[in-house]
Structure 1
Amino acid sequence: MRSASAKMMRAVLVRQFGDVDQMKVERIPIPTVRDKQVLIKVHSSGVNPVDTYVRAGQYKMLPDLPYIPGKDAAGLVHSVGASVTKFKPGDRVFSSQTNQMGTLAEYACVDESNVFPLGSSLTFDEGAAIGIPYFTAYRALFQKALAKSGERLLIHGASGAVGIAATQIAKKHGMYVVGTGGTTEGIDLVRETGADEAVNHRDSNYIEKLMEGEKFDVILEMSSHVNLGHDLTLMNSDGRTVVIGCRGPVNINPRALMGTEGSIIGCALFSATPDQFQEIGSAVVKGITDGWVKPVIDTVFDLEKAHEAHTAVIHSKGAKGKLIVRVQE
């Protein structure tokens, strides 16, 4: 379908990797939908830390310049390619693109395999908060840590978007969850999300508090550059620490792994195979249908303020859910 290609849309464009001042709203042609793609009229776009790493040019996989930032979106199907069978114009959908860019725009072309039904129970803002957070949390728990019902889970950074998703998924699957946050509001949110216990990771003795209780079978680590050394002392026998986030090097003592025969496991959503990605998508869509996928929105920005969202997702004093850019009503 090429009828939309002559029309224009607003989009955030990055012409050079660098700081947020490289993000400019411009008018560019609406992309042409290809054979196995879905053209989404984007209502809301989710902002993730990885988006800032790409924009800064500090990521393993970088797009060609210029590019439109953003991986997560929710909106209505505008048109579909000739070989698309799962969606039709007007469907409410969300998307998560692992190897493509382009959701900070009024329209986004997404491969059909990366588009999923949103249903009617969630808003578009909530739909844009699903992709990377929920998919990453599921992959970390079940495809990497092989978590099981009854195990004890520690989530470092449980008030952030991935932490909230991980808490909901883990509780649904019968795990005991201890979550950390860095503010009073964050701690309250960790409890409201369903964690069995909440700990303030800015307390000077929070590690000692954690050590006083039972140790953990699985640890999800959003700030491994700060916490990884401690994590190795908090694991049960055969414990697994999954590294989800890191902003620099860290010193650890591998001897701490020997007594427990514990494991440190890296997790990156873009490394998922197509079959693994579809497994995750199916599980999350079922969670939407069953009603336990409940994204939490922190702040909503206009498209012209997308650069402020990029700043906030890295430099906020305490995460309280997902940051969203509302592209259009």
Structure 2
Amino acid sequence: MRAAVIHELGAADTIHVERVPVPTPGRGEVLVRVTATAVNHVDTFVRSGVYRTPISFPFVIGRDLVGTVEGLGDEVDHLQLGDAVWCTSLGHGGRQGAASAFAIVSPDRLYPVPQQVDPIELVALAHPASTAWLALFEHGALTASHTVVVEGGAGNVGACAIALALAAGAVVVATAGARSLDALRAAGAQALDYRSPRLRAELRASLPNGADLWLDTSGTLALTETVPLLAERGRVVLVAGAAREDTLRFGDLYMHDRAVDGFAISNATVDELSRAARAVGEALANGILRAPDIQRLPLERAAEAHAALEAGKVRGTRIVLVTG
């Protein structure tokens, strides 16, 4: 079968499409015929070694897939051949990736594709939407009575977070570039230009009772300025900014029962991923989530896709490698 693999950690040009044997599902495993896989920033982190995780070479890259069940190992009894399925947690933690014609997946990491949902749109949104849902509801404990600030509201995770939070009944204040503000306002969010010299004052005016949750998807959040804008028991959830540093007065946290929480979907449990998948599938089926523009590329352009993502050339779109 064809697979996009690396033989060592390194730059995007270490990715090569090669012929490798079709894997055989063992006990408690499922063989999936892959239709498509999305390209995420975290895939580049794994490939380059920025995110350290157990890897065996040759290593198939890619985390998310959508496809159909092709084979079943012993003791797999809740799936059938031909079932349409998707997954968000391959390609790290010792698991081979999704960028191949076939992939082996544990059944507890597979989720049914809703009948009314386009599989390509689903795999395009799988990672950012699951990340947003887990950040909001598992880590942020968001409820309908809350106000949430989403920094980086025009990005993939940010846009999903805004849609999911609004659907849950929360008040949403989002920051984004000027050209994205009208679309965010039309969606129902209060939208502020992150480049405005008055941004902090505008945020303060938009949060008369403070923010119950502050989700940073931009990687540029300033804790010193942000934490005082939280409500009592407010929480910051960070999902970006790996190299960023900041200072903070402890009193701004513990005197108000506030918290700062870091979250990477790579650390999510199987149960957490399953709950996110259920919510994302329902949100897509109900029209709460909508896929952005999708750039479909053949598997052979995987290295090009990684390079473009790392160079910041992919904006307002999602790259999906079509394998089937």
State the TM-score, normalizing by the size of structure 1: 0.87
The CA distance in 2 between the partners of 1:290 and 1:81, in whole Å, is 34
Moved more, 277-286 or 312-321: 312-321
Q: Judging changes above 3 Å, is the alpha-carbon distance between structure 1 residues 53 and 183 closer, same or farther for their aligned structure 2 residues?
A: farther
| Alpha-carbon distance, 1:150 to partner | 2.1
The equivalent residue for 1:64 is 56
User: For residues 25-174 of structure 1, what are the structure 2 equivalents within 5 Å?
Assistant: 25-97=17-89, 99=93, 100-174=95-169
Contact 1:11/1:27 (8 A) holds in 2: yes
Letter in 2 for 1:139: L
Contact 1:226/1:250 (8 A) holds in 2: no
| Alpha-carbon distance, 1:51 to partner | 0.8
- Could you list the per-position Cα deviations for residues 99-126 of structure 1 after superposition, in whole angstroms to 9, with x for gaps in the alignment? 3231111211111111111123222221
The CA distance in 2 between the partners of 1:96 and 1:50, in whole Å, is 12
The equivalent residue for 1:5 is none
- Could you list the per-position Cα deviations for residues 209-245 of structure 1 after superposition, in whole angstroms to 9, with x for gaps in the alignment? 2223213111111234554443324322221000111
The equivalent residue for 1:16 is 8
Between the two proteins, what is the percent identity of the paired residues? 27
Contact 1:221/1:228 (8 A) holds in 2: no
Moved more, 166-175 or 248-257: 248-257
SS of the residue corresponding to residue 129 of structure 1 reads helix
Contact 2:296/2:322 (8 A) holds in 1: yes
Aligned length: 318
Q: Judging changes above 3 Å, is the alpha-carbon distance between structure 1 residues 263 and 16 closer, same or farther for their aligned structure 2 residues?
A: same
The equivalent residue for 1:210 is 203
Moved more, 18-27 or 214-223: 214-223
| Residue ranges of structure 1 left out of the alignment (5+ in a row) | 1-8
Q: What RMSD, in angstroms, separates the aligned Cα atoms of the two structures? A: 2.4
| Alpha-carbon distance, 1:68 to partner | 0.9
Among 245, 259, 263, the alignment partner of 1:263 is 259
State the TM-score, normalizing by the size of structure 2: 0.88
Contact 1:181/1:318 (8 A) holds in 2: no
Among 317, 321, 324, the alignment partner of 1:325 is 321
The CA distance in 1 between the partners of 2:196 and 2:79, in whole Å, is 49
Contact 1:225/1:248 (8 A) holds in 2: no
Q: Judging changes above 3 Å, is the alpha-carbon distance between structure 1 residues 116 and 188 closer, same or farther for their aligned structure 2 residues?
A: farther
SS of the residue corresponding to residue 232 of structure 1 reads helix
Q: Judging changes above 3 Å, is the alpha-carbon distance between structure 1 residues 17 and 318 closer, same or farther for their aligned structure 2 residues?
A: closer
| Alpha-carbon distance, 1:321 to partner | 4.7
The CA distance in 2 between the partners of 1:17 and 1:188, in whole Å, is 42
SS of the residue corresponding to residue 94 of structure 1 reads strand
Contact 1:221/1:243 (8 A) holds in 2: yes
